[in-house]
Amino acid sequence: MKSITTKVLIAVALGAYALSSGSSKVEGQNTGSKQEASQQETVSKLRKAAEQGDAEAQYNLGVRYANGEGVPEDYKEAVKWFRKAAEQGTAKAQCNLGIRYANGEGVPKNYVEAYKWFLLAAAQGDSSAKENKKIIRKRMSSKQIAEAQRRASAFRVRKASAGLGSK
């Protein structure tokens, strides 16, 4: 039962991000070639900006791959883009990367990495990360929690020494 609850809550968190980014996938909807062309153009623009290092574009491209919007659903590709944005300090990307690690989507399931990313996003005030952190903590040993905290601290130090700010 706990496993189902975790996946539901974590999925709800991802859905909230998808909605906030303007995505609106409707099952069985015939989008038509005009809308498909528009989505492809949007994805093309996002990809160009993402490849140039735009963290918001990287995050939004990750959402599109996670949800299969304008591109085939591909969790590995979603993780790639979430990670790029997360490493720049984008809280919603950090939370989504945590979700991928918690559920083993596009990466092997790893609660230590999930907790690390939830810690980083929660520290920036991300409410979904705060909730997901509470959920996943119950499935971790004190040693795993300490390791995740160590990794989060190391990330903050690397980021500070590189002169990157939070988003």
What are the average pLDDT values for consecutive 10-residue runs of the chain, which has 167 residues? 44 42 42 75 94 98 96 97 97 98 98 98 97 97 98 93 62
Q: Indicate the domain borders of the chain.
A: 33-162
This prediction has a pTM of 0.78
Pick from 44, 123, 134, 135: nearest CA to 90: 123
pLDDT at res. 32: 64
DSSP 55-123: HHHHHHHHHHHHHTSSS---HHHHHHHHHHHHHTT-HHHHHHHHHHHHHTSSS---HHHHHHHHHHHHT
Class of the CATH-defined domain 33-162: mainly alpha
pLDDT at res. 16: 42
pLDDT at res. 164: 53
Place of tokens 């119950």: 138
Amino acid symbol at 26: V
CB 67 within 8 A of CB 23: yes
Phi, psi of 8 (to 5 degrees): -65, -50
pLDDT at res. 17: 45
CB 120 within 8 A of CB 94: yes
